[in-house]
């Protein structure tokens, strides 16, 4: 089996391209949680924050009851712990970059099927891959506890769950080596927790982007260098606290920065999507992984 390794602002993924050649009516081979965990192991595997499997729209999407519209490709995304996730913004941009590079998509705008719904991909004038993540939906106020300190935040859904905690405490000083403590009744399936500082917000009144700094602890992964859906959740909430429903936000993450454009109807994430290598998975190693 072939693989590619790439990242979006250092949020890194293993992409498995061979499934793109499946007949859409064929039964899709299983990808087990243990296989994903072994692939993503940074010491005994290839190492990544998650796995992207390229599947043609067909049997796989039918079995999960997913809306497909005119889309041709399904992004089957798994977290590093093997769990299935609804959506991944940086992963979607890398996935789309693969389709474009290989000529599997030739238009400058097309849809992807994800478990979080259809997502519109566009190319910016600068050649960056942009993904419309849909509207951000604010929920309840809640808290996250790190190192015995409690941080107030807001529940935000990007089809996957987020808790956005905007704070004056420098986020660079937080210890995110362990998962923050959260309200398990509010987040029974886990949650991505973002800790955020405003870098600059005065420009919002002048039509310039708001600027924030973010760190994130992702469910099923741990702290990552970036999180696309997290950046979108952060951008929407940061604007809301400024009394705005529309605007642009530059989000600094440990792996670089992304730009998010927010309206009540859409949240568009733009940033780099880079492949760094490719290879073949050793068949003996792969076949030895328990099913």
- 111 and 155 together in one domain: no
Residue among 64, 54, 63, 73 nearest 3 (CA): 54
Residue 40's SS3 state is helix
Residue among 43, 77, 53 nearest 3 (CA): 53
The string of pLDDT tens digits covering residues 214-251 is 999 999 999 999 999 999 999 999 999 999 999 999 99
Do residues 204 and 277 touch, judged by C-beta distance below 8 A?
A: no
Do residues 133 and 158 touch, judged by C-beta distance below 8 A?
A: yes
Spell out the alpha helix ranges (H) of the chain. Answer: 33-40, 59-64, 89-101, 228-241, 283-287
* Distance separating alpha carbons of residues 160 and 116, to the nearest angstrom: 7
- 67 and 144 together in one domain: no
Query: What is the domain-level CATH number for residue 54?
Result: 3.10.310.10
- 65 and 171 together in one domain: no
Number of domains making up the chain: 2
- 257 and 166 together in one domain: yes
Q: Which residue shows structure tokens 């949650």?
A: 191
- What is residue 204's predicted lDDT score, i.e. its pLDDT? 62
Residue among 248, 223, 222 nearest 234 (CA): 248
- 121 and 221 together in one domain: no
Would residue 130 show up in a list of annotated catalytic residues for this protein? no
Phi, psi torsion values for 190, nearest 5 degrees = 85, 175
* Distance separating alpha carbons of residues 220 and 236, to the nearest angstrom: 23
- 151 and 251 together in one domain: yes
Do residues 197 and 213 touch, judged by C-beta distance below 8 A?
A: yes
**Which entry of 40, 165, 227, 232 is annotated as an active-site residue?**
227
- 107 and 7 together in one domain: yes
Would residue 165 show up in a list of annotated catalytic residues for this protein? no
List the domain range (segments joined by +) for residue 110. 2-132+274-287
* Distance separating alpha carbons of residues 52 and 23, to the nearest angstrom: 18
Do residues 203 and 165 touch, judged by C-beta distance below 8 A?
A: no
Q: Encode the chain (291 residues) as per-residue pLDDT tens digits.
A: 999 999 999 999 999 999 999 999 999 999 999 999 999 999 999 999 999 999 999 999 999 999 999 999 999 999 999 999 899 999 999 999 999 999 999 999 999 999 999 999 999 888 899 999 999 999 999 999 999 999 999 999 999 999 999 999 999 999 999 999 999 999 999 999 999 999 998 766 677 899 999 999 999 999 999 999 999 999 999 999 999 999 999 999 999 999 999 999 999 999 999 999 999 999 999 999 987
- 117 and 143 together in one domain: no
- 164 and 63 together in one domain: no
**Which entry of 40, 88, 130, 165 is annotated as an active-site residue?**
88
- 52 and 155 together in one domain: no
- 87 and 19 together in one domain: yes
| pTM (two decimals) | 0.93
Look up residue 97 and give its two tokens: 């970059």
* Distance separating alpha carbons of residues 225 and 256, to the nearest angstrom: 8
Residue among 220, 209, 218 nearest 260 (CA): 209
């Amino acid at each position: 089996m072939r693989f590619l390794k790439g990242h979006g602002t250092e949020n890194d993924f293993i992409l498995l391209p061979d499934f793109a050649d499946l007949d859409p009516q064929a039964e899709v081979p299983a990808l087990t949680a243990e296989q994903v965990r072994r692939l993503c192991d940074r010491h005994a595997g290839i190492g990544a924050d998650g796995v992207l499997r390229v599947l043609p729209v067909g049997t796989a999407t039918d079995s999960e009851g997913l809306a497909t519209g005119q889309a041709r490709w399904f992004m089957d995304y798994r977290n590093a712990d093997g769990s299935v996730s609804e959506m991944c913004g940086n992963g979607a941009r890398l996935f789309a970059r693969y389709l474009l590079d290989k000529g599997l998509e030739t238009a400058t705008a097309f849809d992807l099927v994800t478990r979080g719904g259809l997502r519109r991909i566009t190319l910016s004038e600068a050649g960056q891959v942009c993904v419309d993540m849909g509207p951000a939906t604010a929920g309840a106020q809640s808290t996250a506890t790190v190192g015995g300190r409690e941080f107030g935040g807001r529940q935000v859904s990007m089809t996957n769950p987020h808790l956005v905690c905007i704070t004056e405490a420098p986020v660079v000083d937080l210890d995110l080596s362990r998962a923050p403590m959260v309200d398990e009744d509010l987040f029974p399936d886990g949650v991505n927790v973002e800790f955020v500082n405003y870098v600059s917000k005065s420009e919002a009144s002048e039509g310039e982007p708001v600027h924030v700094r973010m760190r994130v602890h992702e469910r099923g992964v741990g702290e990552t260098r970036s999180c696309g859906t997290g950046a979108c959740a952060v951008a929407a909430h940061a604007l809301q606290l400024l009394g705005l429903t529309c605007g642009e936000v530059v989000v600094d993450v440990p792996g670089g920065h992304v730009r998010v454009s927010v309206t009540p109807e859409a949240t568009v994430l733009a940033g780099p999507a880079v492949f760094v290598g490719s290879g073949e998975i050793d068949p003996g190693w792969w076949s030895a992984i328990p099913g």
